[in-house]
Amino acid sequence: MRKLLIYLGVILLLSGCDFLNDNDVNPNDNQTEQPDNGEQTPDDGDDIQGGNTDTESYKVYVYNLSQWSSLFVYLWDKETTVEYAGKWVGMEIELTEDVNGYTYYVYEFPVEMNGREVGIIFNNGQTMQTPDWFITIDKDYYLLLMGTSTPTIIQDRNYPFSKEFEESKELYEETNNSVPETQKIHYTTTDNQRLTVNNSSIVAGATLTKNVYDYINNCGILVFDKPISVVAKGAFFANHQIKSIILPAGVVEIEELAFSSCSIEAITLPEGITSIGNSAFSPSDLVSITIPNSLTTICDDTFSSCIYLTDVTIGSGITTIGQNAFSDCFGLKNITIPHGVVQIDRGAFYQCISLEDVEIANSVTKIGSEVFQDCKKLKHITIPNSVTSLGKSLFYNCSSLEDVTLPQKLSTISDYLFRGCISLKEVTIPDSVTSIGNNAFGGCTGLTELRIPDSVTSIGNEAFAGCTSIEDLTIPDKVASIGSRTFSGCTSLWNITLGNGVTTIGPYAFANCSNLASITIPPKVTDLGHRFVDGCSELVSVYCKPTTPPSAAFAFNTMPPLIYVPKNSLDAYTSHKDWSWMSTNIVGYNFN
């Protein structure tokens, strides 16, 4: 009964692979008979009917790991058997293109093939060749060719390989050469050609006595029917035959890189698993994953660059989501952080460009740097009050973010927290915040309303640089320093009130605030930074309240507008080394 259930599970999982289609061809079947060499080629004048008349030509990109020194392509029309690339062995592919740093062999299909179903064989110009492969010429194809005597065609991959692929390949080559044959696990394809799972000790302290492997049209599943406990480091690296795996009960550990750079689309993880190592599935073709409740940590890079991953269920046992755990998962749209998670580490969802909805449980206390950086579709997010720390660049370049609720226990708006959030219109800074970091709101061009609470004591460099929609702003009395370029480029700012606690105004602090007509320097200021109002084209008056002239060397690059100073300090200003050169523009004034 147990074996019957296993095989029924295999059939159900494989049913999504369209393997019962009569037109499908098993890449490992014996090669079909090639077209008779006496057939006419298109050059001989045959009129091929039914093709697409579009003038755009399509290409096939081949990343060649087959160890062949030459690569030939042989093509024929499936319906008419007319040859396209000349008689057998076909045409040598000499054209190459670099894509993302990797060199592909490129063959451009003739335009007359558009819309046709054709057969393709790749070969080395001698005795080695791939099985027949049939495609419709209606798009570009990216293929991976690997093996020696019978390389495997990985169909419809249609994206360039990443640097992690090459790094994992080197890891495999290193480990594979150091392990004796007796420790390697094998499985058998339908034509009895033995293929090797890409690592030695796939199991720890156990052996796989029966290999059940069904392989139909590049859709396969490996079923273990004997106990195993560990999937070893790099075990399935770059394996492009297995599409689905059921791991049996008893597996407690998946080591790092176990499924790295493989084509696995679905895996069943058993309850009881306690460890999944760094980069275990990075990258792979996973579409969905359910993380068992028995796991407590999602390690660093576990699912990084799984670009097809759209559905993630995080188990209730998880307490920590590691660095870059889901980074570059371009297809991920929604994520729920369950209760129990305490910490989300740096870059966990970095560049998840489709992520729209995030729910964070109120058990989370720390969210690290860059966690949602470049999540360009994220519009709304609520950070629960349990969170006390938000890392740098948390929402950097979240260009669709419109509103965010910050936790009431937050003490710091960290550096670059909202940098480049161009859709952010309003944000409420809680009264618990004491510091606003460098470039915290830089480039938030849509931000129109902002209240800086009285609790804030410091504002960093470029904190509001480029916030072109802010018109009116008040700096609280506890703030002692205005940093370099803090408000530079705030082109709509016409009124700013600086608190009486300010002692220093940094270089270019208000540069290019082109709507600013006047500014008042608080009474405790002792230092005015280099060209602090540079480019303020509408500035007509500066009210300077300090009774002792502050240091102001090169504060103005040209003759400034009228400068109003305390009347009883007029002589001190006009005789001061930093102010005397503009004495004709200094006016005594009675401040209230």
Say if residues 465 and 491 touch (Cβ distance below 8 Å).
no
Pick the more confident residue, 271 or 159.
271
Q: What is the pLDDT of residues 490-508, one digit of tens each?
A: 999 999 999 999 999 999 9
Of 149, 171, 201, which closes a domain?
149
Closest CA to 505 of 539, 456, 461: 461
Position 519 confidence tier, pLDDT thresholds 50, 70, 90? very high
Question: Is 111 inside any structural domain?
Answer: yes
CB atoms near residue 135 (< 10 Å): 21
Q: Is there a domain that residue 161 lies in?
A: no
pLDDT digits (tens, 9 = 90+) for 61-104: 887 766 678 899 999 998 888 888 878 999 999 999 887 666 78
What phi, psi does 163 have (nearest 5°)?
Answer: -65, -30
In which domain, by residue range, is 462 found?
A: 411-553
Let me know if residue 531 belongs to a domain. yes
Comparison of pLDDT for 27 and 489, the residue scoring more: 489
Give me the number of domains the chain comprises. 2
Q: Which of 149, 171, 193 is the last residue of a domain?
A: 149
**With 90 as the cut, is the pLDDT of residue 580 above it?**
yes
Which residues lie closer than 8 Å to 4 by C-beta, 6 or more apart? none
Q: For residue 152, what pLDDT band results from cuts at 50, 70 and 90? A: low
Query: How many angstroms separate the CA atoms of 133 and 191, rounded?
Result: 16
Share of the chain above pLDDT 90, in %: 56
pLDDT in tens, 416-432: 999 999 999 989 999 99
The last residue of one of the domains, among 149, 169, 189, is 149
pLDDT tens-digit map of 223-277: 454 456 778 778 778 777 677 777 777 788 898 998 898 888 888 888 889 999 9
**Residue 149 banded pLDDT, cuts 50, 70, 90:** very low
CA distance 458 to 435: 5
Which tens digit of pLDDT belongs to each residue from 520-555? Answer: 999 999 999 999 999 999 999 999 999 999 999 999
Asked if the structure places residue 294 within a domain, the reply is no
Q: Which two tokens stand for residue 345?
A: 């580490």
Global pTM value = 0.67
Confirm if 527 and 504 have CB atoms less than 8 A apart. yes
Winning range, highest mean pLDDT, from 30-39, 94-103, 123-132, 319-328:
319-328
Alpha carbon of 337 to those of 312, 367, 383, 398: distances in Å?
Answer: 10, 12, 11, 19
Instruction: Evaluate whether residue 36 is within a structural domain.
Output: yes
* pLDDT over 50 at 301, yes or no: yes
Is pLDDT at 157 greater than 50 in this prediction? no
pLDDT of 39 over the 60 cut? no
- The verdict on residue 116 lying in a domain is yes
Is 59 a member of any domain?
yes
Instruction: Answer yes or no: is pLDDT of 15 > 60.
Output: no
- Cis peptide, bond prior to residue 89, ω within 30 of zero: yes
- Average confidence (pLDDT) over 269-292: 92
Mean pLDDT of 33-53: 39
How far CA 440 is from CA of 448, 465, 482, in Å, comes to 15, 9, 14
Going by pLDDT thresholds of 50, 70 and 90, the confidence category of residue 112 is confident
Return the CATH number at 535.
Answer: 3.80.10.10
pLDDT of 193 higher than 70 = no
CATH number at residue 105: 2.60.40.1110
**pLDDT tens, residue by residue, 120-143:** 998 888 888 887 888 899 888 877
pLDDT at 574 over 50: yes
Q: Which range has the top average pLDDT, 80-84, 217-221, 236-240, 344-348?
A: 344-348
The lowest-confidence range among 42-46, 322-326, 362-366, 522-526 is: 42-46
Torsion of CA 502, 506, 508, 513, to 10 degrees: -20
Give me the pLDDT at residue 207, please: 36
Whole-number Å distance between alpha carbons of 168 and 121: 28
| Whole-number Å distance between alpha carbons of 320 and 334 | 18
Residue 124 CA from chain centroid, whole number = 37
Q: How confident is the model at residue 28 (pLDDT cuts 50, 70, 90)?
A: very low
What value does the mean pLDDT take over residues 20-33? 32
Establish if 34 belongs to a structural domain: yes
In the prediction, which pLDDT does 22 show?
Answer: 31
Q: Which residue has the higher pLDDT, 209 or 276?
A: 276
Q: How many helices (H) and strands (E) does the chain have?
A: 3, 43
Look at 173-177, 228-232, 409-413 and tell me which has the smallest mean pLDDT. Answer: 173-177
Q: What is the mean pLDDT of the chain?
A: 80
In this predicted structure, which of 153-167, 461-475, 504-518 has the lowest mean pLDDT?
A: 153-167
